[in-house]
Amino acid sequence: MALRAVASHGSVAAAGTSLGFTPSAISQQIKRLERGAGVALLERVGRGVVLTDAGRRLVDASTGLLADLELIETELRQAGGAVVGEVRLAGFSTAVRGLVAPVLGALRTSHPGVRAPLLEAEPWESVALVASGQRDLGVVHRWGGVALAMPGHLVATPLLTDVADVVLRTDHPLAGRAVLRPADLAGEDWIATPEATICRQWLRRVFDGIGGAPRVVHESMEFAGHVELVRAGLGVALVPRLGRGELGPDLVAVPTAEPASTRDVVALHRRSQADSPPLRAVLDALVAAAATL
């Protein structure tokens, strides 16, 4: 698992963060693997590390073994009858606030034998973590036509369709509109997530064909920060409703049209874990909670 994490994240430190171990513990696990295999599995390049050919072959070969082990584990748990075990979760920030946190709180009562440690991660990170076996269940989003590639051994369960609105101050000239179209917003200063994020890719997609827009002035990873920057009069922002909270009397949220800004929120797990009782308990709770939003 440690070697797979290094392969996914590109460094021992990042692998430790994803698995909840120190970099030293990850290094020791890999050294034990190298002693057992009799070959080097990592090589240092600059300040980072890369897998050797032997390391890559080991990671590739372990994919099928991981699936077989998960099927055996599922069969044993089903035979035991009790819903117990660990389901490692990954999810994006607004889903953590608006969906996952309440579900995990309720699971402590409904399924006290289920542990569900959570890691906040961007959607493509969650896909990689679940696909590689470092996490068991991922909550991700897909915006409009922005693709999110998923390997064939992952299963996606729809949770909800989330809507994003343009958040403006109530004294903004566009605050009274029922909907806002890209041409209405072409001259605005924008607050947005950083360039590499899916949300930023969608914002650019909204303004396809309109030169010079969007003009992003401020960048912040957290939508809560976007709201406060809008409140301070520093621009407008496209903010999803999931996990948004109350805006207060000085702000207004207006939906977009042509295109409408929506994103599909789905849960991902490996096909080999489809019948796992603890995973099914967490997934069913997410589906039920999403239906109430």
Which tens digit of pLDDT belongs to each residue from 222-238?
Answer: 999 999 999 999 999 99
pLDDT band of 139, cuts 50, 70, 90 = very high
* Residue 158 predicted with pLDDT over 80: yes
User: What tokens were used for 168?
Assistant: 């403006």
What number is the average pLDDT over the span 242-250? 95
pLDDT band of 62, cuts 50, 70, 90 = low
User: Residue 119's beta-bridge partner residues?
Assistant: 90
pLDDT band of 118, cuts 50, 70, 90 = very high
* Residue 261 predicted with pLDDT over 80: yes
DSSP E strands: which ranges in the chain? 42-45, 48-51, 85-86, 89-91, 114-115, 118-120, 137-143, 154-169, 189-192, 215-219, 236-240, 251-255, 262-270
Integer angstrom CA distances of residue 201 from 53, 147, 172, 214? 34, 10, 25, 11
Asked whether 240 and 94 are in contact (CB, 8 A), the reply is yes
pLDDT band of 75, cuts 50, 70, 90 = low
DSSP state of 124: H
pLDDT band of 110, cuts 50, 70, 90 = very high
* Residue 80 predicted with pLDDT over 60: no
Cα separation, 165 vs 85, whole angstroms:
39
- pLDDT computed for residue 257 by the predictor: 96
Higher local confidence (pLDDT), 288 or 10: 288
**Alpha-carbon radius of gyration of the chain:** 22
pLDDT band of 76, cuts 50, 70, 90 = low
Please report, as a single letter, which amino acid is at residue 289.
A
Higher local confidence (pLDDT), 64 or 205: 205
- pLDDT computed for residue 270 by the predictor: 94
Cα separation, 171 vs 98, whole angstroms:
28
Mean pLDDT of all residues in the chain? 88
* Residue 1 predicted with pLDDT over 80: no
3-state secondary structure of 119: strand
CATH code that applies to domain 1-81: 1.10.10.10
* Residue 66 predicted with pLDDT over 70: no
* Residue 175 predicted with pLDDT over 90: yes
* Residue 36 predicted with pLDDT over 90: no
What number is the average pLDDT over the span 186-199? 94
* Domain boundaries, given as residue ranges, for the chain: 1-81, 86-293
Residues with Cβ within 8 Å of residue 160, at least 6 apart in sequence: 99, 242, 264, 265, 290, 291, 293
CATH code that applies to domain 86-293: 3.40.190.290
What number is the average pLDDT over the span 153-182? 97
DSSP state of 273: G
Asked whether 117 and 157 are in contact (CB, 8 A), the reply is no
